[in-house]
Amino acid sequence: MANILHIDTSPRGERSISRQLSYELITSWKDTHLNDTVTYRDLGHHPVPHVDESWIAAAFTPPDNRTPELTEAIKLSDSLIDEFLAADRYILGVPMYNFSIPSKLKAYIDQIVRVGRTFAVTDNGYQGLVDSSKKVLVITSRGGSYRPGTPEAAYDYQEPYLRAIFGYMGLTDVTFIHADNLNAGDDSRAKSLAAAKEAIAQAVANW
């Protein structure tokens, strides 16, 4: 039995392609993995706050030395990290915004990437503290195509960043399913969505 953390990041509702595809994946997954549990976090509609000065002070103060105010300032981060570490697999729906990720996802990442909790600083450099056997699957929605070899590939700061930040925490088994070219006309859009749905079906069977 596995615990899946399912995260949506689009502020859109039914019109969100990333939501539709992540929902399709998690629904199919639950139909074929009956004993798995799913924790759902909707960052698009229920964002977490950005890091502030009190958060930083709390994060770099040993727990036993924190004032009640600092303990409160870091409380949500602790809860989000506990939730993140309790999961065995991660499924994210992430639209591309300005070649990168939504700010709501960045705020969440800043809450969970914490020294002593999800990474450590050692004599040999940074070390991820999250179990490297865990898997991440990211479904993106993109207006254009930024795949390797395309003219716009250099503008993709979404996949490289997410690979880097998950790897920083220790998660190196990261799979991407890109629904791209969504603004390139009906034919291109239909082909891309069909390919993404086929990749989702394969992920449910093999991931």
Q: What is the DSSP string of the chain?
A: --EEEEEE--S-STT-HHHHHHHHHHHHHHHH-TT-EEEEEETTTSPPPPP-HHHHHHHTS-GGG--HHHHHHTHHHHHHHHHHHH-SEEEEEEE-BTTB--HHHHHHHHHH--BTTTEEEETTEEEE-S-TT-EEEEEEE-SS---TTSTTGGG--HHHHHHHHHHHTT--EEEEEEE--TTS-HHHHHHHHHHHHHHHHHHHHH-
What is the structure's pLDDT at 56?
97
Overall average pLDDT of the 85-111 stretch:
98
What is the structure's pLDDT at 76?
98
Q: Is the pLDDT of residue 1 over 90?
A: no
Q: Is the pLDDT of residue 11 over 90?
A: yes
Residues linked to residue 125 through DSSP beta bridges, in sequence order:
122
Question: Quick one: pLDDT band at residue 62, thresholds 50, 70, 90?
Answer: very high
Structure tokens at 194: 């069909």
Q: Is the pLDDT of residue 98 over 90?
A: yes
CATH numeric code, 3-206: 3.40.50.360
The pTM of the full predicted model, rounded to 2 decimals, is 0.95
Residues 6+ apart with CB under 8 A from 132: 170, 171, 172, 173
Our CA angle for 147, 143, 199, nearest 5°, is 55
Structure tokens at 169: 């925490």
What is the structure's pLDDT at 65?
97
Overall average pLDDT of the 12-22 stretch:
95
Question: Quick one: pLDDT band at residue 129, thresholds 50, 70, 90?
Answer: very high
> What percentage of residues in the chain have a pLDDT greater than 90?
97
Question: Quick one: pLDDT band at residue 207, thresholds 50, 70, 90?
Answer: confident
Listed by start position, the domains of the chain span 3-206
Q: Is the pLDDT of residue 202 over 90?
A: yes
The structure tokens 């395309």 sit at 150
CA–CA separation, 57 and 80 (whole Å): 18
- Tell me the per-residue pLDDT of 67-95, one tens digit each, with 9 for 90 and over: 999 999 999 999 999 999 999 999 999 99
Overall average pLDDT of the 12-30 stretch:
95
- Tell me the per-residue pLDDT of 184-200, one tens digit each, with 9 for 90 and over: 999 999 999 999 999 99
CA nearest 59: which of 47, 48, 51, 50?
51
Overall average pLDDT of the 42-71 stretch:
97
Overall average pLDDT of the 103-113 stretch:
98
Exposed e or buried b per residue across 84-97, where buried means at least 16 C-beta atoms within 10 angstroms of its C-beta:
bbebebbbbbbbbb
